[in-house]
């Protein structure tokens, strides 16, 4: 099944596929172990920083090997790529299912132009494309500051603008902004599900993604899935699980230099978070 088939299935059967960012090998193992345990399809994704750390060829090999070994659907996505060149490099690698061209920093015409170019390259290889029009704030870290809701609201997606962007660019997945933000914060506004419903109404044939998935209460994520979200991106909560487990293990083993001796336990701490997300997204048992 292709990524398109998977998202169509998710749409029909009312679940979402988790798109989990991969910072390092322990996080990768944690994600695919959870997906295997839950018999769930999963998407692994690499931001430009994460892809740069692994190297494009290495990460593709790692995912291709894992598909064979774990025998579960592991979709591969290039996450938040800001340039057509980076998307082109991923599309040229056999192994990618999806590329996310994030032109939200560009003016709308430039964004459409770039997204269109990526769509032409990607579709020729059977790869789907995610586009982003409205800049999603924050960053995938633990934030101490409070969110200014009035400022955040200014970046929410407008259904009419979204329709124009999607029709002119030809993208397959629209990154909707309706109260979501990258990272975790002390408090955050509720997702605007009424707005999401309007966006879905304007884009009935386009898949919708929910970025900034960390820190959003499970019930709200589930309401968003009911309203049309088929892809939920998670990064910060995995980074927290990894870091906390690493710090704990180093504290417990001050004389240990063979760090891989507790890498498995660290991966399992990440896996527990992913298993929980898979349950929330309803993708358990769908593989």
Interface contacts to ligand G3H, rule CB under 6 A: 21, 79-80, 140, 182-183, 211-214, 233-236
User: b/e string for 139-170 if b means 16 or more Cβ within 10 A?
Assistant: ebeebeeebeeeebeeebbbbeebbebbeebb
Which of 193, 268 has the CB closer to Ca ion?
A: 193
Which of 19, 122 has the CB closer to ligand G3H?
A: 19
Helix/strand/coil (H, E, C) string of 36-76?
A: HHHCCCEEEEECHHHHHHHCHHHHHHHHHHHHHHHCCCEEE
Tell me the C-alpha distance between 284 and 15, whole Å.
9
Q: Which of the listed partners (ligand G3H, Ca ion, none) does 233 bind, with a CB threshold of 5 to 8 Å by partner kind?
A: ligand G3H
Q: Which of the listed partners (Ca ion, ligand G3H, none) does 24 bind, with a CB threshold of 5 to 8 Å by partner kind?
A: none
Under a CB-based contact definition with an 8 Å cutoff, are residues 198 and 177 in contact?
Answer: no
Contact region with Ca ion (CB under 5 A), list: 30-38, 114-122, 143-151, 208-216: 208-216
Q: Which residues are marked as active site?
A: 79
Under a CB-based contact definition with an 8 Å cutoff, are residues 21 and 234 in contact?
Answer: yes
The encoded tokens of residue 237 equal 């909560």
Which of 48, 249 has the CB closer to ligand G3H?
A: 48
How far apart are CB 182 and ligand G3H at their closest, in Å? 5
Which of 227, 238 has the CB closer to Ca ion?
A: 238
Return the closest-CA partner of residue 216 out of 179, 241, 242, 177.
179
For position 47 contacting Ca ion by CB under 5 A, the verdict is no
Q: Which of the listed partners (Ca ion, ligand G3H, none) does 30 bind, with a CB threshold of 5 to 8 Å by partner kind?
A: none
Please report, in angstroms and rounded to a whole number, the separation of the first and last CA atoms in the chain.
10
Q: Which of the listed partners (ligand G3H, Ca ion, none) does 140 bind, with a CB threshold of 5 to 8 Å by partner kind?
A: ligand G3H
Q: In 170-235, which residue ranges form alpha helices assigned H by DSSP?
A: 193-202, 218-226
Tell me the C-alpha distance between 251 and 143, whole Å.
24
SS3 158: coil
Task: Please report, to the nearest 10 degrees, the dihedral formed by the alpha carbons of residues 194, 42, 134, 93 taken in order.
Answer: -160
273: CB partners within 8 A, 6+ apart: 30, 34, 237, 238, 241
Size of site (CB under 5 A) for Ca ion: 3
How far apart are CB 218 and Ca ion at their closest, in Å? 13
Under a CB-based contact definition with an 8 Å cutoff, are residues 135 and 107 in contact?
Answer: no
Which of 10, 176 has the CB closer to ligand G3H?
A: 176
Which of 73, 215 has the CB closer to ligand G3H?
A: 215
How far apart are CB 256 and ligand G3H at their closest, in Å? 30
How far apart are CB 253 and ligand G3H at their closest, in Å? 29
For position 179 contacting Ca ion by CB under 5 A, the verdict is no
How far apart are CB 22 and ligand G3H at their closest, in Å? 11
Q: Which of the listed partners (ligand G3H, Ca ion, none) does 282 bind, with a CB threshold of 5 to 8 Å by partner kind?
A: none
For position 212 contacting Ca ion by CB under 5 A, the verdict is yes
How far apart are CB 15 and Ca ion at their closest, in Å? 20
Contact region with Ca ion (CB under 5 A), list: 59-67, 75-83, 166-174, 206-214: 206-214
Binding site for Ca ion (CB under 5 A): 212, 214-215
């Amino acid at each position: 099944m292709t990524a398109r088939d998977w998202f169509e299935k998710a749409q029909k059967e009312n679940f979402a596929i988790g798109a989990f960012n991969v910072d390092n090998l322990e996080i990768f193992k944690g994600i695919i172990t959870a997906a295997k345990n839950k018999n769930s399809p999963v998407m692994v994704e690499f931001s430009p920083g994460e892809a740069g750390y692994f190297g494009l060829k290495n990460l593709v090999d790692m995912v291709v090997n894992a598909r064979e070994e774990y025998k579960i659907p592991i979709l591969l996505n290039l996450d938040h790529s800001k340039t057509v060149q980076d998307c082109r490099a991923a599309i040229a690698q056999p192994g990618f299912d999806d590329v996310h061209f994030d032109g939200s920093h560009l003016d709308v015409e430039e964004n459409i132009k770039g997204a269109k170019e990526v769509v032409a390259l990607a579709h020729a290889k059977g790869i789907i494309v995610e586009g982003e029009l409205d800049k999603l704030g924050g960053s995938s870290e633990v934030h101490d500051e409070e969110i200014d809701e009035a400022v955040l609201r200014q970046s929410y997606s407008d259904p009419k603008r979204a329709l124009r962007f999607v029709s002119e660019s030809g993208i397959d997945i629209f990154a909707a902004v309706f109260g979501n933000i990258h990272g975790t914060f002390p408090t955050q506004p509720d997702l605007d599900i009424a707005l999401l419903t309007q966006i879905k109404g304007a884009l009935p044939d386009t898949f919708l993604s929910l970025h900034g998935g960390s820190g959003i209460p499970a019930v709200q994520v589930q309401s968003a899935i009911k309203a049309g979200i088929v892809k939920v991106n998670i990064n910060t909560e995995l980074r927290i699980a990894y870091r906390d487990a690493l710090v704990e293990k180093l504290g417990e083993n001050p004389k240990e230099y063979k760090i891989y001796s507790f890498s498995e336990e660290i991966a399992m701490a990440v896996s527990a978070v992913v298993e929980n997300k898979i349950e929330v997204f309803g993708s358990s048992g769908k593989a």
